Amino acid sequence: MTGDLFTSAASDRLARRAPLADRLRPTRLDDVVGQEHLLGPGRPLRRLIEADRLSSVVLWGPPGTGKTSLARLIARVTAQEFAELSATSASVKDVRELVAAAEARLGERDVGTILFLDEVHRFNKAQQDALLPSVESGLLVLIGATTENPYFEVNAPLLSRSTLFRLEPLDDAAVRRLLKRGLEAEGSTADDDALDLLVDRAAGDGRHALTSLEVAVALASGRASGGDVRLACDDVEAALGT
């Protein structure tokens, strides 16, 4: 019991120390900023997620467009087991162990497995060969995330067994909404020109926008001396290194 309390306390402290972009990951589909063409009411990916009928997919888009956030959101709503691997660090042994666990889970509890594979384009042939039969049979539902063109970078048999969804860079309005959430989470406000600069320099990358905001808030806090924290353009320029 004591161990559980310590573990819970450590998890809470870690969550509070997490980067702003991690703390603001959406927990509901309606919280997702941008990607209305995929996640708006009645759109295909949203319908599949809501029905918990997702088949293997590849999420293709630039950094900071919500690929990992979307995968983590699916993990919250699915009745299936959710597992993660990174193509940069997973070994063939890791893949085989995950497949064996998925087989046991399905046989013992009739529960399927969703695998989130970040940077799927970096999976080598041996890794892909170990994974492909399980995706092909439906034992694993694959969510692959990539910033690279999958038609050139993802194994063709793996891609042919997946539905490709393309995530677009966030537009300025979406980045601004995200930044306002960040300001609220940080208990801060910002001058209009400071917010405009953050939006402009984000270039559609939500994670970059929130990271820059977090640094700017830290700089403004040092100037505020315990009072209300309000970001000025100078704080943002310093955070951006300009």
Instruction: Give domain 35-166's CATH superfamily.
Output: P-loop containing nucleotide triphosphate hydrolases (3.40.50.300)
Per-residue pLDDT reduced to its tens digit, 184-214: 999 999 999 999 999 999 999 999 999 999 9
In order, the DSSP letters of 120-189 are: GGG--HHHHHHHHHHHHHTSEEEEEEESS-HHHHS-HHHHHTSEEEEPPPPPHHHHHHHHHHHHHHHT-E
- 85 Cβ contact partners less than 8 Å away, ≥ 6 residues apart: 94, 95, 98, 115, 116, 117, 118
- The CATH topology of domain 172-240 is Helicase, Ruva Protein; domain 3 (1.10.8)
Instruction: Read off the pLDDT band of 123 (50, 70, 90).
Output: confident
Intervals of CATH 3.40.50.300 along the chain: 35-166
Intervals of CATH 1.10.8.60 along the chain: 172-240
Per-residue pLDDT reduced to its tens digit, 96-120: 999 999 999 999 999 999 999 999 9
- The most distant pair of C-alpha atoms in the chain lies apart, rounded to whole Å, by 61
Asked whether the beta carbons of 231 and 190 are under 8 A apart, the reply is yes
- 156 Cβ contact partners less than 8 Å away, ≥ 6 residues apart: none
The first and second tokens of residue 213, run together, are: 């905001």
- Residue 1, SS3? coil
- This prediction's pTM: 0.87
